[in-house]
Chain A
Amino acid sequence: MHIEIDEIAKAFGATTALHPVSLAIPSGALVGLLGPSGSGKTTLLRILGGLEYPSSGRVLFDGRDATGLTVQERRAGFVFQSYALFRHMTVFDNIAYGLNARPRASRPPGAEIARRVTKLLDLIQLPEIGRRYPSQLSGGQRQRVALARALAIEPRMLLLDEPFGALDAKVRKELRQGLRHIHDETGLTTVFVTHDQDEAMELADLVVVMSMGRIEQIGKPADIRACPATAFVRDFITA
């Protein structure tokens, strides 16, 4: 799905989190929002997911105004920094949650849900863990379960907030490949937020560098590295 962000701004009371920013994300792209904390990248992601409402501006999905859509209507697969897994449910029930939450008329039958969950567990390469609880998983496993849960609703896009933030360096490298693999497999338009420039540069097709609520530069990783548009970008990517 093609996403267009048109002059989106966000203020929390007196503080401005986002100055009007515009950005077009082509269908099927893997985009990294890169910036230090307080740069507005998470706010922008949450506005895309419908978790925050912009103070002004519009969001367009495939050319149609989606600004007024509720979180539920957006069908954006969202992976939270803390993963936000449901601790009282098994991994299986976590992944099945979005399908079970559908109104009866559009809810798939139980066997179909089970089939899809099994397929997703295979996709994240953890076929054996369906009956475990989140507290019995490692950090990397939790992250993959959160990803599978987001994919289960057949999302129109995938939004990830610091997806590797809470993991140690080795696991982080592995999971980057995993996300790349899943993106290529599903072809979903994917936006992830990170403060780690290596991560953005290695993983994304398109990197959006942000600072203090503004977009500093949009470009392919190689282009950004070759010719940083502002002093901030130069400092940030060489830091």
Chain B
Amino acid sequence: MGKPLIHRSPMPGLGLSMGITLTMLSIVVLLPIGALLAKGASFGIGNIWDTVNRDRVWAALFLSFRLSLFAALFNLVFGVLLAWVLVRYRFPGRRILDAAVDLPFALPTAVAGIALTALHAPNGAFGSILGQLGWRVAYTQWGILIALIFVGLPFVTRTVQPVVEEIEREVEEASATLGASRFHTLRHVVLPMLAPAALTGFALALARAVGEYGSVIFIAGNIPLVTEIAPLLIVIQLEEFNYDAAASIGIAMLLISFALLLVINLIQVWSRRRIGHV
């Protein structure tokens, strides 16, 4: 045997802290997730596949994933821009802007949902203007996209901001002394340095958006095959006490979450190997 399971240590509180940690982790997280997987196992892989392999479920999963991807892409670009502006520029109102980035974290999703709906509904402030241009947002996929952009807004900014703060000015100066234009420096020196953090934030925003429920259902319209998101399907199945179907879709979503978690970790390993630290 190599390493012992737990190193002996004079530090007090091993039993207590380990006990609380493992007990609460089990009751709150592991056992419930285990219950979902057990339900899936007893239902059988074939049955799960049959449940998921229906037009309405595929449409919902595809819709959730596709719009989440678009929202995360928007947030990737806008988030990097925001991080850059907030760290590098000084202008009146910067602190308020900085605090405002966190609002989607702090604001309950149901509140965001009804506020965005009121704003974009045909008689709302934005909805009436966009309506005149022939562009309907509320109760269409555009509405879902806006809600997903809202909830994912802080992730990229907050992961990229500390990296921008740490960029040594000398590296940018070095690029300039070698004759590179400012644009070339941003494109070939600054952006690659921000890339790992930006991708991590992108994956986090994507993971959040795929599972998002509260802010979306009000503005989505929830029309099957068109604007019905995957989490809503679970809720519908549960309301019909169809636990097997709910568990099947839940497992499909869990797999997507795990895949995204894996991607996030791979990004971090990759960046650590290339740049020497995260």
Contact = CB atoms under 8 A, between A and B. Distances in A.
Interface of A: 49-51, 71-72, 74-78, 80-82, 84-89, 97-98, 100-102, 133-135, 149-150, 152-153
A76 B173 CA distance: 12
B173 A72 contact: no
Interface stretch (B145-153, B177-185, B205-213, B247-255): B177-185
B170 A153 contact: no
B274 A84 contact: no
Given A78-B174, A80-B170, A84-B171, A153 B179 contact: yes
Contact of A135 (B189, B193, B276): B276
A3 B93 CA distance: 45
A81 B179 CA distance: 19
B34 interface: no
Interface of B: 168, 170-171, 173-181, 184, 188-189, 192-193, 195, 274-276
A86 B179 contact: no
B192 A88 contact: yes
A150 B177 contact: yes
B177 to A, nearest CB: 4
B170 A84 contact: yes
Given A72-B181, A80-B170, A97 B276 contact: no
B86 to A, nearest CB: 23
Contact of A86 (B171, B195, B276): B171
Contact of B177 (A76, A88, A89): A76
Contacts of A74: 177
B174 A102 contact: no
Contacts of B180: 72, 97-98, 101
Given A87-B193, A133-B274, A101 B181 contact: yes
Contacts of A75: 179
B187 to A, nearest CB: 10
Contact of A71 (B176, B192, B275): B176
Given A82-B168, A84-B170, A87-B193, A98 B178 contact: yes
B193 A77 contact: no
Given A72-B180, A152-B178, 19 more contacts: A51-B173, A71-B173, A71-B177, A78-B177, A80-B170, A86-B175, A86-B189, A87-B193, A87-B275, A88-B192, A88-B193, A88-B195, A97-B178, A100-B188, A101-B180, A133-B275, A134-B276, A135-B275, A149-B174
6 contacts: A78-B173, A85-B171, A86-B174, A88-B193, A88-B274, A149-B178
Contacts of B195: 88
Contacts of B168: 82, 84
B200 to A, nearest CB: 15
A84 B177 CA distance: 11
B173 A80 contact: yes
Contacts of B192: 86, 88-89
B168 to A, nearest CB: 6
B193 A97 contact: no
Given A86-B171, A88-B192, A51 B177 contact: yes
A83 to B, nearest CB: 8
7 nearest A-B pairs in the assembled complex, by CB-CB distance: A135-B276, A98-B178, A101-B180, A84-B170, A78-B177, A84-B174, A71-B176
A153 B180 CA distance: 11
Contacts of A152: 178
A200 to B, nearest CB: 22
A132 to B, nearest CB: 12
A150 B178 CA distance: 7
A153 B177 CA distance: 9
A101 B179 contact: yes
A150 B179 CA distance: 10
A81 B173 CA distance: 12
Nearest to B271: A88
A171 B274 CA distance: 26
